Structure 1
Amino acid sequence: MNRLQDIFTFSEDFPLIFTQANFWIFFAVAYFLFALVHKKITLRNSYLFLISLFFYYKTSGFFIGILIFSTLVDYIIGRSIYKSEHQTKRYILVTISVVINLTVLCYFKYAYFFTDSFNMLFQTNFEVVNWLAHWGNSFNDQNYFTVDKIILPVGISFYTFQTISYSVDIFRRKLVPLKSVLDFGFYVSFFPQLVAGPIVRAENFVPQISQPTVITKADFNAGSFMILKGLIKKMIFADFIAMHFLDRVFDAPEMFSGFANVMAMIGYSLQIYGDFSGYTDIAIGLALLMGFKLPINFNSPYKATNAGDFWKRWHISLSTWLRDYLYIPLGGNRKRTAASYIILSVILLGVLYAYQDLVVVAVVLTTVLLIYILSLFNTTIKSQINTNINLMLTMLIGGLWHGASWKFAIWGGLNGLGIVVYKFWRKISPWETNTQWYARWWKILVTLTFITFTRIYFRGESMDHIARWYNQVAYHMDWHYALDILVHYQMVFWVMLFGYISHWLPESTKATIESLYAKSPPVAKVMIAASVGIICYQAFSSDFQPFIYFQF
């Protein structure tokens, strides 16, 4: 009885997440009811919308109101855009949709970031006031909402991008709006991918909403295999190494040798991959069990041979969204726009201010000024600037999407710089046309090293925390303690080694493993599932381990 109460009542301490038993009890009940209604499309969609709202309520409580608000606004605007034949009116409507969505996102996610940045730049002392909470509490005597700070609703970055894509796709006449607000609500809130993606594009998912439920044997096999694979990634390759080594190092980097800090960063690359791709694997698997197909979000990203290749393999739904709804509208690789330079200048100034290092600021500004002067006299340089400035801008904004801090902008900018540098390097690189296995592995290892050590800006809690990590690596490697570290944390390092090896297996080998699972008899599948469950929960900690991307 207490377990059922935990499942069906809201508690900040016990949200429904894929690695907890409560979620699988919830899904078993939800799936049983789904089996009763799946043949009637309207009833099925309405049921999945309501169960998804309940799931979000269990995850975020009264922030469900923000999700419902976004759903209603974009449903109404989407239909209005479609009905209008006047192009100016259509522009105004789609602009209203984008502005409302981004305003809500910025209020909850970037209010402190914008305020702190303004205060630092102009030496003011403005404070953030949660006016929305004050307004909400005026309707009740219980003061349900916290007024002393703004809390970020789980998944707001993901469903905001989905609702924007819906309005923009209708504006571009790529999509016919849904007739029912319940169907649209189902698209926005489909619970497997609601809180951490993948970001579902309207043009890909909306057509599935009107189709009858078809769950083939292949879908069931693929779905269950993805779920098991996702649980292993999350609970073994992410949570286990984080709890037993990574978190200890990152909490106090100065207490560990530089070698331990380096190994923690290598482990963090595995952790964040296992955590995020594990979530999306489970989400894709759950959707397949209900007859819906979600986009692939990862394609063996640590097999990438350069930074650009990496971002074609990592968080694919975000990368392609930024490409189609930001990079191309800004001019893509064809031209520059005034908006590109204005936004880039603001972000660049913010990043420089975050460093507060006169040498770094002087070097960057001098470099930018020199490039600008050369572009006035050299059309080739000017063309290269126009080609790459929108790419850099997209990566900077992509960095800020991940977190409301200048360190995320720095992280995004470093990745953008890595892509730009490679575009020039490949023209002179002796490795570019070399097809030998060692050349490919050299490029993979260089790319992985670059991606791993730029992530300190992603993982570090503050610029001071990042500086302490750098200090340990630069001045306190303490190689004589390396063997002691490897021995003391040997189980963690064995798991890390197994995780990377399994990631680097050839795709044909992975396909063979999945095929063997699919061809196995039902009894074998049950035994495999039970074994995975036992292994995962043997490594499970009673501490709450949320998915990393919940914060975005």
Structure 2
Amino acid sequence: MNRLYDIFTFSEEFPLIFTQVNFWIFFAVAYTLFAVFYKKIKQRNAYLFLISLFFYYKTSGLFIGILIFSTIVDFFIGRSIYNSENSKKRYALVTISVITNLSVLCYFKYAYFFTDSFNMLFHTDYQVMNWLAQFGNSFNDQNYFTVDKIILPVGISFYTFQTISYSVDIFRRKLVPLKSILDFGFYVSFFPQLVAGPIVRAENFVPQISAPTVLTKSDFDKGTFMILKGLIKKMIFADFIAMQFLDRVFDTPDMFSGFANVMAMFGYSLQIYGDFSGYTDIAIGLALLMGFKLPVNFNSPYKAINTGDFWRRWHISLSTWLRDYLYIPLGGNRKGSVGSYIILSIIILGTLYAYQNLLVVFITLGICLTIFILAQYNKTVENNINTNINLMLTMLIGGLWHGASWKFVIWGGLNGLGIVVYKYWRKISPYENYNQWYVRWWKILITLIFITFTRIYFRGESMDHIAKWYNQVAYHMDWHYAWDVLVSYKSVFIVMLIGYITHWLPSSTKSYIENLYANSPIYVKAVASVIVGVICYQAFSTDFQPFIYFQF
């Protein structure tokens, strides 16, 4: 009874996530009931919408109200956009949809960021207040809600982007709106991908909502394989190395050698990949078991041969969303705009203020001034600026999407610079067109090192924390203790080695393994599932390990 009570009540400390037994009990019950409704499309969609709302309540409690608000607003705005033939009215409606969604997102995700930035810039001392909580308390005498703190609802960035894509696609005449709000609610809240993606495009998922459920043996085999693969990635290649090594180093980087800090960064690259791609593998697998197809979100990103290639392989649903709904509307690779320059200037100034380092400020301002002067006298320079500014702006905003801090903007900017620099380097590179294996592996290694070391801005708790990491790497590598570190954490480094090797396996080998599983008898699949479950839960800790991207 206690187990059932835990499953069907909200607990802030233990939300319903894929690595907990409670989730699989929940899914077993939900899937059994799904078998009752799946043949009737309307009942199926309504049922999945309701069960998804329950899942989100288990994950985020009363923040379910924000999800319902977004669903209602965009459903009716979408219908109004479609039914209107007046271009100005349609443009106004889609603008209202975008502004409403982004306002809700900014309130919950960026209130502290904007307030702190304003206080630093103008030397004020404004405090964040939860106006929604204060409004809620006005209806009762008990003051249920805390007014001095804003908590970020889980998954708000993901479902906000989905509802925006729905309105914009209708505006672009690429999509016919759904007739039932229950169907639209199902699209917004489908529980496998609700809290950490992948971001589902309306034009890709909405047609599936109106189609009958088709459950094939191929889907079942692929679905169960993806779930098992995702659990291994999350619980072994992410959680195990984090708990046994990474968290200790990152909590106190100045207590470990520079070598240990460097190894922790390579471990973190594996952790965040295992954590995030593990989640999306499970989400894709769960959706397939119910007859729905979610987009591929990762394509062996550490096989990338340059930074641009990496972002075509990593978090693909976000990268393509930013490309289609931000980069191209800003002008893409055709032109720059006044708005682009203004936004970019604000971000650069804010980042410099976050650094508060005169040398960095002078170097950056010197580079900007030089480029500006050259652009006045050289058309080629001006064209190159216009070509790349939207790319940089997209990456900077993409960084800010990941976290409400200037360090995330710096991280996004560094990745943008990596893409821009490579665009010019490949024009003069002596081995750009070489196909030898050692050239390809050299490119992969350089890209992995660059991506890994920019992630200190992603993982570091603060700029001071990041500075400590840099100090250890620059001045205290302590190579003579390197072997001791490897021996002391040998189990962690063995897991890391296995993780990278399996990641770098040829696609044909991975397909062979998946086909081998698919073609095996059912009892072999059952045994494989038991073995994976035992291995994962042997590495499992009683400490709660949420998915990293829940915070986004």
Same fold (TM over 0.5): yes
Cα distance in 2 between the residues matched to 1:397 and 1:147: 29
- Who is 2:533 aligned against? 533
**Distance (Å, rounded) in 1 between the aligned partners of 2:436 and 2:141:** 71
Q: Secondary structure at the match of 1:427?
A: helix
* Partner residue in 2 for 1:177: 177
Task: Tell me the equivalent position of 1:327.
Answer: 327
Equivalent residue number for residue 414 of structure 1: 414
Task: State the alpha-carbon separation in 2 of the partners of residues 40 and 144 from structure 1.
Answer: 41
Match of 2:153 in 1: 153
Structure 2 partner of 1:7: 7
The 5 Å alignment of 1:79-90 reads 79-90=79-90
Counterpart-to-counterpart distance in 1, 2:53 and 2:8: 12
Query: Which residue pairs with 2:69 in the alignment?
Result: 69
Q: After superposition, what is the alpha-carbon deviation per residue over 1:3-56, rounded to whole angstroms, capped at 9, x for unaligned?
A: 000000011112100000000000000000000110000000000000000000
Equivalent residue letter for 2:367: T
2:518 corresponding residue in structure 1: 518
Q: Is 1:230 aligned to residue 252 of structure 2?
A: no
Q: Hey, what does 1:121 align to over in structure 2?
A: 121
Structure 2 counterpart of 1:365, one-letter code = L
Separation (CA, whole Å) in 2 of partners of 1:377 and 1:215:
63
TM-score by length of 1: 1.00
| 1:484-523 map, 5 Å | 484-523=484-523
Q: Note the C-alpha offset of 1:162.
A: 0.2
The residue type paired with residue 279 of structure 1 is Y
| Counterpart residue type for residue 548 of structure 1 | I
Is 1:405 the counterpart of 2:412? The answer is: no
1:488-547: CA deviations, max 9, x gaps? 100000000000000000000000000000000000000000000000000000000000
CA distance in 1, matches of 2:145, 2:307: 43
Q: Tell me, what secondary structure is at the counterpart of 2:427? A: coil
Amino acid at match of 1:30: A
Q: 1:375-401: per-residue Cα shift (whole Å, max 9, x none)?
A: 111111111000000000000000000
Are 2:198 and 1:191 aligned? Answer: no
Letter in 2 for 1:211: A
- Return the offset for 1:430: 1.2
Q: Which moved more, 1:123-132 or 1:298-307?
A: 123-132
AA aligned opposite 1:466: I
C-alpha deviation, 1:127, in angstroms: 1.1
Q: Which residue type is aligned with residue 47 of structure 1?
A: Y
SS in 2 for 1:294: coil
- Offset of 1:143 from its aligned partner? 2.9
1:334 is paired with a residue whose SS is coil
How far residue 412 of structure 1 moved from its aligned partner, in angstroms, is 0.1
Alignment of 1:42-61 (within 5 A): 42-61=42-61
**CA displacement at 1:431 relative to structure 2:** 1.8
| 1:144-191 deviations in Å (ceiling 9; x for gaps) | 322110000000000000000000000000000000000000000000
Distance 1:331 1:373 in 2: 23
What letter is aligned with 2:197? G
Tell me the amino acid that sits aligned with residue 153 of structure 1: P
Rounded Cα–Cα distance in structure 1 between residues aligned with 2:112 and 2:458? 18
Give the distance between the partners of 2:425 and 2:136, measured in 1 at CA.
55
AA aligned opposite 2:115: T
Where does residue 218 of structure 1 map in the other structure?
Answer: 218
Residue in 2 aligned with 1:450?
450
TM-score (norm 2): 1.00
User: What is the SS of the residue equivalent to 1:151?
Assistant: coil
Q: Which letter does structure 2 place at the counterpart of 1:339?
A: G
Query: In the alignment, what sits opposite 2:437?
Result: 437
| CA distance in 1: counterparts of 2:393 and 2:143, whole angstroms | 41
Distance in 2, matches of 1:466 and 1:12, equals 30
Q: Please give the per-residue CA displacement for 1:410-465, whole angstroms capped at 9, x wherever unaligned.
A: 00000000000000000011120110000000000000000000000000000000
Unmatched tracts of structure 1, length 5 or more: none
C-alpha separation in 2, matches of 1:130 and 1:235: 35
Q: What is the percentage of aligned positions where both structures have the same residue?
A: 81
C-alpha displacement at 1:141, in angstroms? 3.5
Q: State how far apart, in whole Å, the 2-side matches of 1:523 and 1:250 are.
A: 43
Query: Which stretches in structure 2 are left out of the alignment for 5+ residues?
Result: none
SS of 1:426's partner is helix
Corresponding residue for 1:303?
303
Aligned equivalents of 1:333 and 1:294: distance in 2?
29
CA–CA distance in 2 between the matches of 1:148 and 1:115? Answer: 13
Give the counterpart letter for 2:36 in structure 1: L
Is residue 20 of structure 1 aligned with residue 20 of structure 2? yes
Q: Aligned equivalents of 1:424 and 1:323: distance in 2?
A: 21
2:396 and 2:402 map into 1 onto residues whose CA distance is 10
For 1:434 and 1:60, locate their aligned partners in 2 and report how far apart those are by CA, in whole Å.
51
Indicate yes or no: 2:485 matched with 1:474: no
Distance in 1, Cα, partners of 2:119 & 2:94: 33
User: Which residue of structure 2 aligns with residue 345 of structure 1?
Assistant: 345
Q: For residues 380 and 535 of structure 2, what CA distance do their matches in structure 1 show?
A: 58
| Partner AA of 2:320 in structure 1 | T
Shift of residue 129, structure 1, vs aligned partner: 1.0
- 1:198-220, CA deviations, whole angstroms, 9 ceiling, x for partnerless residues? 00000000000000000100000
Provide the residue aligned with 2:250 in structure 1.
250
User: How far off is 1:136 after superposition?
Assistant: 1.1
1:200-219, aligned counterparts within 5 Å? Answer: 200-219=200-219
Whole-angstrom CA distance in 2 between matches of 1:135 and 1:308 = 46
Q: What is the match of residue 380 of structure 1?
A: 380
SS in 2 for 1:270: helix
The residue type equivalent to 1:43 in the other structure is: Q
